[in-house]
Amino acid sequence: MKQLRRAEITFDGLNVEKAVNMLVKQNIEVYCVHRLPNRRCMIAVPAAISGQVVALLQQKCYNNIQVKLCGIDGAMNTCQRHIALALIVVLLFPALLLLSNFCWKVDIVADNNTEEVAQVLREQGVYVGGWLANINFDKVENVLAAHFDSVYAIVNRRGSAVYVQLLARDTGLPQVDYTKRYDIVATMDGVVSRITVVQGTALVKKGDTVKKGQVLIQGKRTFADGTTEDVRAIGEVYAEVSAEGYCQYTGTVTQLVDSGKTFSYVTVNMSQATSSAPDIPFEHWRTEQRTVVLYPLAVKLIYYTVYEQVNSVTPVSFEQDKQRLTELARQKAQDKASWTTTSEKVEVLEGKGVKVTLCGTISITSDNLSTGGTEQ
């Protein structure tokens, strides 16, 4: 029981064994002795006489004396030193528990009108500032699914935030009037590689060069007597298309590099409101961010560090710059190509630049009314 109220004393000196023998001769109970490197020693004595032991050691010129209360006395000492923190934790926990039952955020992902969804949620008691402890979320899901005739509705509570997902039913494809004239037209320039006509009249053949907007299959049916009637053109047309990108060699490379100047700020995201960000005092910059979420309050702190960047111009030979020029030319070609690339041709114009040509095949069918045809 005595060892539950002990003090560990660490000290150093020329003859630590002599110090221990001195304490024993003074009838001081020494529980244990640990010899440490650099002529140091740690002993354990009753906590009640630790002050007396320290005084004796100082009297005999021992140095760097450190006292650590252990057992019951150590625990009491720690509590005394951290009493303020303990009080804050005790008082803050009920407050956090109470606040976590209030709704601080409602996040809605839905095919329907989100304002209408929010109104139905409010009628069920789910809104920013509302009390969540008594909400039956299964019932809220059923009400949403029935009200909007959705495939499913999911309402999840995470801390003081509520996340809502709604998926609307597929109403099906619109009806198509096959008696109304509809022409299949080219969506871009190209060379016809294959054409199949199910209904209508083909106006082009394999190998023909066509322009964007040109009619490929006309929505007309011609009978043996020469008469015609309007129909919806049905068929498939495949065309070989290409897109070019060129990047000129200038002899230098301009890059943005960090100048060493930085700018920092913090934004607070609470519920569906976010604090405004300050004006960035740089012309060019890059940003790094770190996010801290305060649970269960659903408050998000976003720490931003902005690094100023300045232009750095570096001389470069054509051979050194060839790979960069190729990538830039390829990117320019890809920006023009809205189709899948099947082949690529790279032309290196020594000392001048690089040209990249991307080739592909596009299909225009009568099912793609928005891009591959016109109604008459």
Question: Which tens digits make up the pLDDT trace of 308-326?
Answer: 999 999 999 999 999 999 9
Task: Report the distance separating Cα 43 and Cα 8, nearest Å.
Answer: 6
Confidence of residue 114 (pLDDT cuts 50, 70, 90): confident
Evaluate whether 167 touches 108 at the Cβ level (below 8 Å).
no
Amino acid at 246: Y
Domains of the chain, earliest start first? 2-80 (3.30.2130.10), 105-168 (3.10.20.310), 182-239+368-373 (no CATH), 246-251+316-362 (no CATH), 253-313 (no CATH)
Evaluate whether 121 touches 129 at the Cβ level (below 8 Å).
no
Please tell me the predicted confidence (pLDDT) of residue 85: 59
Please tell me the predicted confidence (pLDDT) of residue 92: 66
- Asked if pLDDT for residue 94 goes beyond 80, the answer is no
- Asked if pLDDT for residue 276 goes beyond 80, the answer is yes
- Sign (positive or negative) of CA dihedral 204, 206, 210, 214: positive
Of 333, 352, 353, nearest in space to 343 by CA: 333
The Cβ of residue 8 has, within 10 Å, a number of other Cβ atoms equal to 20
Task: Report the distance separating Cα 125 and Cα 138, nearest Å.
Answer: 13
Q: Torsion angle, CA of 212/216/220/225, rounded to 10 degrees? A: 140
Mean pLDDT, the chain, rounded, equals: 84
Report the range of poorest mean pLDDT among 23-37, 40-54, 87-101: 87-101
Please tell me the predicted confidence (pLDDT) of residue 370: 37
Query: How do residues 188-228 score in pLDDT, each as one tens digit?
Result: 888 999 999 998 999 999 999 999 889 999 999 888 888 88
**252 pairs with which residues across the strands?**
315
Percentage of residues of the chain with pLDDT beyond 70: 85
Q: What is the arithmetic mean of pLDDT over 229-247?
A: 91
Question: What's the pTM value of the predicted model, to 2 decimals?
Answer: 0.47
- Asked if pLDDT for residue 240 goes beyond 80, the answer is yes
Q: What is the arithmetic mean of pLDDT over 36-45?
A: 85
